[in-house]
């Protein structure tokens, strides 16, 4: 059972406090996406789970066992790095075998493991090539293959697809989803990519400045963000934010008193209305199946409307909008969601 539990994990580098009291429980075979802005501590948190960094405080449990003092090779985890980190002078087969050879596994045991991983990742035809004779996607598959042969309970991925072009990313995304089903392993996956996080993850962990802001299923974070940070971070294009007086003047609010100081509406949840918030179009982006209309309030405050199809607005047009039923998010002075 490869569960992973972080209990109040702290990590400092000297006087730089990078991870601040992170607690999260990850179930066996769960696929968890770890997301957050650059520098928020995603790689650091992953490396503490791998044992490549020592924690400054708190506990890490893998499979119910505290591993704070367990060496990386004895943690039942395998990490796949963004840079692949393949040995250039070794063939694909040698790259995949090497880790098991140095840990003393007998050759007769290694070969079938490597062949199985090669089969899963469709690398059979490439086993005698060197990394420089492979495409980016093929190299990434070798890096994943090297993790698979170790038969870990937990896979740790640090932005494994970020060096690939858009088309290959989409293809590898699907392959990773299938791989997760096939291997029945726990996976913790760091990504910048919203779509990867939303589509692959059973659970998303949002990290911000070393603090876990929210943990939840993708649609839970999308529908019920706990605070304005998560609201703005999950979803693309970003949620539009409006001051309370703007929302009130637009007639969006009912009369009951509320502690809300600002309101959010996702671009795809703004609908056209006979009256309501008046925005002036200043730019239109046609994406083919979808149109993004960029608007400004009289105050200069900008927001975006996302609609299916090829919208017919032109710069200078005025559009009246309201939030779709049940799609207005309210936040208090501390940024916490008000429901
Ligand atoms: N060895 C180190 N010594 C000192 N500071 C470090 C060290 N490693 C990371 N940091 C700092 O810790 C913070 C978090 O870094 P980390 O690499 O975990 O961020 P990240 O979320 O993975 O960012 P990115 O999305 O850019 O990869 C950064 O401010 C970084 O400068
Ligand atoms: Mg990183």
Question: What's the pLDDT tens digit per position in 281-313?
Answer: 999 999 999 999 999 999 999 999 999 998 889
Q: What is the pLDDT of residue 256?
A: 67
Alpha helix ranges (H) inside the chain: 42-50, 92-102, 107-120, 136-148, 166-183, 194-200, 218-223, 228-233, 244-249
Convert the pLDDT of each residue in 238-266 to its tens digit.
Answer: 999 999 999 999 999 986 668 899 999 99
Q: Could you report the per-residue pLDDT of 39-63, keeping only the tens digit for each?
A: 999 999 999 999 999 999 999 999 9
CATH of 4-233, picked from 3.40.50.300, 3.30.930.10, 1.10.3720.10, 3.40.50.720, is: 3.40.50.300
- Look at residues 214, 208, 210 and name the one whose alpha carbon lies nearest to residue 226: 214
Rounded to 5°, angle at Cα 195 from 32 and 157: 40
- Ligand 1 pocket, residues with Cβ under 6 angstroms: 13, 16, 18, 36, 38-44
Closest-CA residue, ligand 1 atom 3, reads: 13
Pinpoint the residues of the chain covered by CATH 2.40.50.140: 240-338
Query: Ligand 1 centre and the CA of 59: distance in Å?
Result: 20
Strand partners, 32: 188, 203
Instruction: Tell me the pLDDT tens digit for each residue of 13-31.
Output: 999 999 999 999 999 999 9
Percent of the chain past pLDDT 70, that is, above it, reads 99
The closest residue, in CA terms, to atom 26 on ligand 1 is 38
In the chain, residues under CATH classification 3.40.50.300 are 4-233
Ligand closest to Cα of 44 equals 1
Task: Give the residues across from 60 on adjacent strands.
Answer: 6
* Ligand in closest contact with the CA of 18: 1
- Ligand 2 centre to CA of 46 (Å) is 9
Ligand nearest to the CA of 37: 1
Classified as helix, coil or strand, 117 is: helix
pLDDT of residue 257: 66
Instruction: State pLDDT tens for residues 118-173.
Output: 988 889 999 999 999 998 888 988 999 999 999 899 999 999 888 778 888 888 88
Alpha-carbon distance of 100 to 102, in angstroms, equals: 6
How many Å apart are CA 185 and CA 176, to the nearest integer?
12
> Cα–Cα distance between 35 and 38 in angstroms, integer?
9
Residue 64 burial class via C-beta count within 10 angstroms: exposed 0-12, middle 13-18, buried 19 and up: exposed
Q: Whose CA is nearest to atom 8 of ligand 1?
A: 44
Q: Which residues have C-beta under 5 Å from ligand 2, the single-atom ion?
A: 43
Ligand minimally distant from the alpha carbon of residue 34: 1
What is the average per-residue pLDDT within 107-126?
A: 92
Indicate left, alpha or beta for 39 from its phi (over 0: left) and psi (-120 to 50: alpha): left
Residue nearest to atom 29 of ligand 1 (CA): 39
d(CA 13, ligand 1 centre) in Å: 9
- pLDDT confidence tier of residue 65, bands split at 50, 70 and 90: very high
Token pair 């596994």: residue: 105
For ligand 1, the distance from its centroid to the CA atom of residue 92, given in whole angstroms, is 31
Q: What is the CA radius of gyration of the chain?
A: 24
Q: Write the residue with the smallest CA distance to atom 24 of ligand 1.
A: 38
Q: Is the dihedral of CA 128, 130, 135, 141 positive or negative?
A: positive
**Residue 65 burial by CB count (10 A; 0-12/13-18/19+): exposed, middle or buried?**
exposed
CATH code for the structural domain at 240-338: 2.40.50.140
Q: What is the pLDDT of residues 186-234, one digit of tens each?
A: 999 999 888 899 999 999 999 999 999 999 999 999 999 999 999 999 9
* Ligand 1 closest atom vs CA 192: 25
């Amino acid at each position: 059972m490869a569960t992973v539990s972080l209990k109040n994990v702290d990590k400092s580098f000297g006087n730089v406090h990078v991870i601040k009291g992170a607690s999260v429980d990850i179930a066996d075979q769960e696929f968890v996406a770890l997301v957050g802005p650059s520098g928020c501590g995603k790689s650091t948190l992953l490396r503490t789970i791998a044992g490549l960094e020592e924690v400054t405080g708190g506990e890490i449990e893998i499979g119910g066992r505290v591993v704070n003092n367990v060496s990386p090779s004895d943690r039942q985890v395998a990490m796949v790095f963004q840079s692949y980190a393949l040995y250039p002078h070794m063939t694909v087969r040698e790259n995949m075998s090497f880790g098991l050879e140095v840990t003393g596994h007998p050759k007769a045991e290694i070969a079938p493991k490597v062949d199985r991983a090669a089969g899963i990742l469709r690398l059979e035809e490439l086993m005698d090539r060197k990394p420089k004779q492979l495409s980016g996607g093929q190299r990434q598959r070798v890096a994943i293959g090297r993790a698979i042969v170790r038969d870990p309970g937990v896979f740790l991925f640090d932005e494994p697809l970020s060096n690939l072009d858009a088309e290959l990313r989409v293809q590898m995304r699907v392959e990773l989803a299938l791989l997760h089903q096939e291997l029945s392993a726990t996976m913790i996956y760091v990504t910048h990519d919203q779509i990867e996080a939303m589509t692959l993850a059973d659970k998303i962990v949002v990290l911000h400045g070393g603090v876990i802001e929210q943990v939840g299923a993708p649609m839970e974070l999308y529908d019920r963000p706990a605070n304005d940070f998560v609201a703005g971070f999950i979803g693309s294009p970003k949620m539009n934010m409006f001051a309370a007086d703007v929302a009130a003047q637009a007639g969006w609010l009912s009369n009951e008193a509320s502690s809300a100081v600002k309101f959010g509406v996702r671009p795809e949840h703004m609908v056209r209305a006979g009256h309501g918030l008046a925005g002036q179009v200043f730019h239109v982006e046609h994406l083919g199946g979808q149109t993004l209309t960029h608007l400004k309030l009289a105050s200069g405050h900008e927001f975006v409307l996302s609609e299916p199809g090829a919208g017919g607005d032109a710069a200078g047009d005025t559009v009246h909008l309201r939030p779709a039923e049940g799609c207005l998010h309210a936040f208090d002075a501390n940024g916490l969601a008000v429901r």
